[in-house]
Structure 1
Amino acid sequence: MTNLLRKISNYLQRNKYKKVLGRCDNNVNISRQAIIHNPQCIYIDKNVGIGDGVYLGPVIEYADIPYNPKIIIGEGTWIGNHCSLAAINKIKIGKNVLFAGYVHITDHSHGYEDIDRHIALQPLTSKGPIIIEDDCWLGFSCEILSGVHIGKHSIIAARAVVTKDVPPYSIVAGNPAHIIKQYNFKSQQWERYNK
């Protein structure tokens, strides 16, 4: 009986989001504990899972400045519990991306340049959209900051802070994140990166 109730609950939840999200394809499972702001700016492909306590926060206005954000989540992606995605520009996540818990992705930060104005009242700033290509794995509590492009089948280690682009088939770790391994197609192995 519990499985039937869960299926009915998921069906009702999915239909609710289909009406308000920018796009919501089939077989999308969004936890009831997820927090979604400005759902019209969120586009979700099929077979996506969004865990407990996930925050999806496109910002359409701040300090009287309008923004045109988009959060796009590709097919087969799973966003683990308590992750946070915030955008004034664009966050685009490819297919089959796997998020551990507590991953934080933001394409903006607060302005601070005007010392005569409270930071909370200054415009938000962005270095550009964040793009995460297909088949990536984002480790526990890592952070991806604005303007970053993560290449296909890359791994971001737990607690890494990614401030610059990550080439495809790379493993990065640290703060700021740096490449520690890359896949060598000739040897067909992951090899230590020596720069």
Structure 2
Amino acid sequence: MPKQTFFNLPEEKREKILQEVMTEFRDNAYDLASINRIVERSGISKGSFYQYFEDKEDVYFYLLQIIGDKKLQYLGPTISRIMDIGFYEALRKIYEAGIEFALEHPDYLTIGNRMMRDGGTMVRKLQEKFGGQSDALFSMLLEKGIERGEIRPDIEVPLVARLLMNMQMTVVEYFFEKHQEVGYSKEILSELNVFIEMVEKGIS
């Protein structure tokens, strides 16, 4: 998390720094992202950067936290409506909302995709830091699905919840890569049914 000195800055200056942070991590993998470029474009000194953040990892995690909070806020209305519908319809609604969020915030999608591709220790740290909320949502849906008889009772709920969370990111990335040459639109959503049917019935 940023230091209090960052929050003491005028809002306009905070937003400028965060915009440059987002640009840097959008355009570069974590290992190649440069604090020097961030401070140069932000119009601050490197010393000031370290008055605001501990290091590159600190500002990266803060950016991901902002993105995650905005996504949860975006998904909020969907989540509040899905608890009383069937598991697979609920899954479809969540994945649809994830795609709609990405359509509205393509920079966030790029940053998320880079995060997953970075792999290794960083992804494990991110999972430890941010994975709990998404895991909890999918776990709750799975448990309700088991109660309704839609889902086998012998599944390992935490494992399947983690798989569904990771699959959501992969599905969004796949559809956007597939459509990037013709441009992104809500037509991507129409292809979700095939994927949801595969989850429900398997690939046999």
TM-score (norm 2): 0.23
Pick the structure with greater CA Rg: 2
Larger RCO: Structure 1 or Structure 2 (Cα < 8 Å, ≥ 6 residues apart)?
2
Structure with bigger helix share is 2
TM-score (norm 1): 0.24
